[in-house]
Chain A
Amino acid sequence: MDQKKIAVYLCEGCEIGTSLDLDALAGVCGTYACKTHPCLCRSDGVRTLEDHIRDGVNTLVLGACSPRFKSEQFNLPGCLVERVNLREQVVWTHEANDEDTQMMAEDYLRMGIARAERTALPDPFTLDVEKTILIIGGGTSGMKAALESARAGFKAILVEKEAELGGWKRRFPVQFRHSPPYGGLAATNLNGDLKSVLDHPNIEVLTSTTVASIEGQPGQFDISLRTNGTTRVSRVGAVVQATGWKPYDASRIEHLSYGKSPDIVTNIEMEDLLNKPQLVRPSDGKPIRQIAFIQCAGSRDPNHLPYCSAVCCRVSIKQAIQLREKLPDTQTMIFYKDIRTPAQYEDLYRRAQELKGILFAKGEVAGVTPREDGRLRIEVDQSMLGEKILVDVDLVVLATGMVPRVSDGEVIRRQRDAQAVIDRGEKGVKLETAKATLEELKQLDLESVLNLNYRQGPDTPTLQHGFPDSHFICFPYESRRTGIYLAGCAKAPTDFEGAISDGTAAALKAIQSVELGSQGKAVHPRWDDMSFPEFSFQRCTQCKRCTEECPFGVLNEDEKGTPKPNPARCRRCGICLGACPERVISFKNYSIDIVSSMIKAVEIPDEFDEKPRILGLICENDAYPALDTAGILRRRFSTFIRFIPVRCLGSVNTIWIADALSRGFDGVLLVGCQSGDHYQCHFIKGSEIMGIRGKNVREKLTQLALEEERVRLEELTIADYNRLPEIINAFADEIEEIGLNPFKGF
């Protein structure tokens, strides 16, 4: 941008003009032109602003409503617009024409000007992108992802580790219907799927192939693929991981005796039996008179798979219906915990209930025992047929669940790092810790699927139970590795329809990451953000905090440990900026200097005024909107606080806290989102990281003989607009009780 030309405008509307002394407020603008308007967002107001831009103003500071309102009106192309929230945060939440309210408004205006003086419009980091999507896994969701990518004009490389495409559809020729009539069965039509994939000119299929490595960033991933011992390299723009699932190992469920008789089979093996011309007892070829399905074999079991595999009820019902057709005289029993046939699939359950010879019984199966007469005895507890019943059958089908075929990159990385410590010949505590880590992880299946060349590990991190998503309610396709999206049962257990939707949707996400990368724009949740972190490497001390703390694995390291940025992987949360003790990381519109200068712009009344000042560093995604809503509801809170919105609480650098306290602020309130297993942080672990940093800060305060209570971290949700004012007031009261900062005036 050329030389900054700043102008300030104050809106008189929405009680701002009647609650504040705007002339006095204009006084803080120094040499900058400051004007008022009765209602800035009205068309005549916007026209006035546009006139100024024509006259050469390129930076506008607007003292009006929250930046979350009227953004359409104040989106003035080519002009940097700095919004100062005088409405929700000042006049709607504080007493009108009051000295403290006026001081608050003046501080906010000074802070806005300070920010505007130092902020530049971002200069996007654009890439020449490769419009090819790599799809790993040639099952239902992978084939669909390839097909949809190709139909959207991209190229697709579809990689399958087996010799043929198709995945589990090869074992399941018949499925329960995903469209009306829902009670019916239908062919899975694998050949149709194969044909559309193989016939598409933009899809390259590589079977018997695995991914040897992936490195780079969205738009420019360099991949290496291994087929029967030969390796080839390619460049792709994004990746869809559709690596599917494997059945839970039934032999681990001891009481069900899998492996002790050929007549105890899994639901997958049952598919094979159903597709044989003769359906007889596997052990001796005798007819099957009674058959039992045992649902949740390993699923919904804390000792095995704690989750529900979502499809097994419907699969067993489907198999029971198929059995009726093949063996009309056989009695079928289905032992279940709950029958889970959601939505229209209730029709499937209803149809099976109406068929003769299929009995559904709720109960806990305590054991299966092969008998000497060749039959199998099932013991069922707490069933609706009685406290404890015994049933003898010819064939037992175990409805085993689904295990996602993914690896946890963070765990593999821990293992590799520990191994490296041992290989380097380290001694003492380091060696012992490394050995303990290897011991802890030795039970786990730690083979990488993606082989990402990322410092934080070769696969996406996972949440509970190994599911690799990051915000599974609102943004189910987001992962913690930009440009890598999950589909199908690798993401969570699902049926064929879900796998197809997933493949389609994940392909869209992959395409978005390439298209936006080519424009230098961020993806979710800071869609379109064109700022990115810039590093002053000459001051970097290779402390590696940025590479460690980035929730998205953006940074790699060179041999010395210097971070190597990959801007297209970056989600622009600023957690690296918060992590850096040397303060070498900054964005054009968000930096240590910008926020520090805002902190310095607050006038600290001297100790005799008895007006404490509290700095509020507040998450702009949730806490800040909550504060706006408190404003709309005209809630009141302390006039002693000054808020600065931050991109994520994890982007708070502790220097800001130190700056504030050394400047004479009496307390610092940090407000972020819920952390923990049910985190709500849009950047996964921002408030968690701040919790750790905050602890260090409080320890330092104690060393300085300052009360550690002067820094407080609060977690809340966007709907806590009633609680937030209470939190502010309680903290303000506590600060008053502790007394003013003794460093005031130094």
Chain B
Amino acid sequence: MGSSKRVLVVGGGIAGISAAVEASQAGAEVVLIEKQPYLGGRVSQMNLYFPKLCPPSCGLEINFRQLRNNSKITCYTQSEVHSISGEPGNYTVSITRSPRFVTDQCTACGACIPFCPVRRPDPFNYGLSQTRAIYFPSPAAYPPIFTIDPIDCLGEECSQCIAECPNDAVDLKMQPETFEIEIDSVVLATGWRPYPPEKIDNLGYASNPNVITNVELERLAAPDGPTGGQILRPSDQEPIESAAFIQCAGSRDENYLRHCSSVCCLASLKQVRYIRQQYPKAEIYLFYIDLRAPGRMEDFYLEAQQDPLLHLVKGKVGKVYPRNGESRIVVEAENVLTGRRIQQPVDLVILATGMVPQVPRLSGNLAADEHGFLVVENAEESAIFPAGCVRRPVGVAEAVRDATAAAMKAVQVVRG
């Protein structure tokens, strides 16, 4: 394919990583940038994938092996695109890298940790646990290098970590840096963020600790999560006897997100399995509008229907409120099939909140649809190819499909 194409991939989640690996294996030189201090994006915060109930780190490991050993891919974490100029086949991209304050001399030995005096909420666990100001993003983090939270760190006055690091890997003087690279094309795989649940007033997220979101439940079920994988009632850390999943929490709703977020039905059915594994006798309710399990995912839905203590209720939830004097919560809904009103008290409510696209700030003409997702129609003209959840709410397989197709388009761009 002539001289190596140079592809910038923005976003180090599953779509971005896949695009980077696929493009490099077709001969391209790839620069992969990620805003967080680790790669893997949202999927690295998931406990298991549906329908196989297998850990995301299994597939990520195969991809990380490529990032470790393939000299054609350069990764920059804690980096964002500052500006982009030029034209397809001849772009100059300015990238800003925030200081990590830890150099790649770090061996992840952890000698610094006991000496850091700061405790901060851990965003990897959605604030459900704490780390020190110097921390390892997760036990399977890639790259395996510690990082320092710039806001919570006490700075040079403290310098305990510097004193304890055997490898002189801590550098609190590190500054943000901006550098330019020349590239031919861009794959934009900046992904999604969960819809803010506190915006949905009637579902009680802000006022009740026992109302949690689906992404939080992923962390509660994960062996490296805040509870070591035990699903407990947040208010008192007691075991649960019942739970309710509320589908389309914010999705398919004129007032919040008009689109369907595509994966929440399957994600909830998967999370039913997390709860079932720990609580064989828990009563679980799942309130849905339509159960969306496309293609072979139907098998997974069929398996769920074998669970006699899982009650699938077609109906939109009207209200969630605490039961007087109890830590239980009442979910109020109407079963559309029977016309019956339901007031179901449960220990834990899980809101299946949807996906909001995370569109990067880029100069130029990124077209978005009315939902905020990027449009691909004119991508060939600009050689900027959106892929994954930034253009459509999708599951992992579809994100990889998008990424692979985008990688193909990116390596074809002819230099101007």
Contact = CB atoms under 8 A, between A and B. Distances in A.
Contacts of A350: 258
Interface residues of B, number: 79
Contact of B108 (A15, A69, A151): A69
A390 interface: no
Residues of B contacting A: mostly = loop
Contacts, number: 231
Nearest to A305: B298
Given A346-B259, A473-B59, A505-B401, A13 B109 contact: yes
A65 B294 contact: no
A338 B290 contact: yes
A234 interface: no
A308 B266 CA distance: 14
30 contacts: A13-B109, A68-B65, A69-B144, A152-B1, A152-B411, A180-B375, A300-B298, A302-B302, A307-B298, A308-B295, A341-B260, A343-B259, A344-B392, A346-B252, A346-B259, A362-B314, A464-B296, A473-B52, A474-B58, A476-B401, A477-B404, A498-B398, A502-B401, A508-B408, A508-B411, A524-B62, A528-B70, A621-B62, A622-B58, A629-B139
A511 B213 CA distance: 42
B107 A14 contact: yes
B388 to A, nearest CB: 11
Given A148-B412, A719-B57, A528 B69 contact: yes
Contacts of B258: 346-347, 350
Contact of B61 (A43, A65, A341, A625): A625
B412 A475 contact: no
B105 interface: yes
A344 B167 contact: no
Contact of A492 (B14, B55, B70, B296): B296
Interface stretch (A213-221, A661-669, A674-682, A728-736): A674-682
B26 interface: yes
Closest 3 CB pairs of A and B: A474-B59, A505-B404, A719-B55
A680 B70 contact: no
Contacts of A464: 296, 299
Contacts of B376: 179
Given A39-B166, A71-B69, A152-B1, A474 B396 contact: yes
Interface of B: 1-2, 14, 21-22, 25-27, 49, 51-55, 57-59, 61-62, 65-66, 68-70, 105, 107-110, 136, 139-140, 144, 166-167, 223, 252, 258-262, 290-299, 302, 314, 336-337, 369-371, 373, 375-377, 392-394, 396-398, 400-402, 404-405, 407-409, 411-412
Contacts of B252: 346
Contacts of A308: 293-295, 297-298
Contacts of A151: 412
A680 B52 contact: yes
A621 B409 CA distance: 30
A465 interface: yes
Contacts of A346: 252, 258-260
A472 B369 contact: no
A719 B404 contact: no
Contacts of B297: 308
Contact of A508 (B66, B109, B404): B404
Given A13-B166, A342-B292, A501-B405, A72 B68 contact: yes
B14 to A, nearest CB: 8
Nearest to A493: B295
Contact of A179 (B166, B369, B394): B369
A470 to B, nearest CB: 12
Contact of B296 (A148, A307, A340, A673): A307
A382 B314 CA distance: 12
A500 B412 CA distance: 16
A469 to B, nearest CB: 9
Contacts of B65: 68, 527
Given A69-B107, A307-B299, A467-B296, A632 B139 contact: yes
Nearest to A338: B290
Nearest to B399: A476
Interface in A219-255: none
B71 to A, nearest CB: 8
Nearest to B64: A68
A172 interface: no
B54 A678 contact: yes
Contacts of A384: 314, 336-337
B61 A622 contact: yes
Given A71-B68, A346-B258, A501-B402, A718 B58 contact: yes
Contact of B105 (A41, A339, A340, A719): A41
A341 B337 CA distance: 20
B144 A498 contact: no
A745 interface: no
B314 A39 contact: no
Contact of B68 (A68, A179, A341, A347): A68
B290 A501 contact: no
A516 interface: yes
B405 A504 contact: yes
B260 A515 contact: no
Nearest to A633: B139
